[in-house]
Amino acid sequence: MNYFVTAIGTDSGKTLVSAILTEMLGCGYWKPIQAGEPRDTDTVKSLVTNSECHFISEKFLLKTPASPHYSAEMDGIELSADKFELPSADQLIIEGAGGLLVPINSKEVIADLIRGFNAEVILVSDLYLGSINHTLLTVEELKRRKLAVKGIMFNGDSNVASEKIILQKSGYRCLMRLPKLEVVDSPSVIKFANELRRNWE
């Protein structure tokens, strides 16, 4: 099974979660669209120590740190879902760009890529004032599109009330609660990969 890591917004923790998943599963990592530097592929590679993991180059490496549709326009490139072919690999962690409804062109969004990748979604929800609404809006879109979801990863200082209502209303299960980390490094990734393994099935 491939897993597509998406989130309720930008800078929600997708790259850290992707590193943890890649470390745990000993599989491939692929970010189809990278808009701007630094490259998330380089970050994940620097955090993962599992020798079975491998890292696949981006399909589109765009220069401007912006929404993919705009960044591609600046580079004179036209993105469309039919231009993405799943790399040959036994298993992949696929990291999205931004959230589900981030546009890749005037008609298609990140969510349009997921079904073609035959992947289950892992939703990252960082906890802040307003995150309940943002998370449940994302949940509604996942359900509207009938996309398979493995579960939710909460990221940041724990908020029991927020987490409880999100899980109750979504019907998804919590895969892990990631605390706010002062330092993100390989030992942290290994630690949380071991913790996630216990909650995986």
Catalytic residues: 31
Do residues 103 and 68 lie in contact, with contact meaning Cβ atoms separated by under 8 Å? yes
* CA gap 196, 25 in Å, rounded: 10
Q: Which residues contact 96 (CB under 8 A, 6 or more apart)?
A: 4, 5, 6, 7, 14, 32, 102, 110, 113, 114
Q: What is the DSSP string of 29-83?
A: EE-SEEESSS-HHHHHHHH---TT-EEEPPSEEESSSS-HHHHHHHTT----GGG
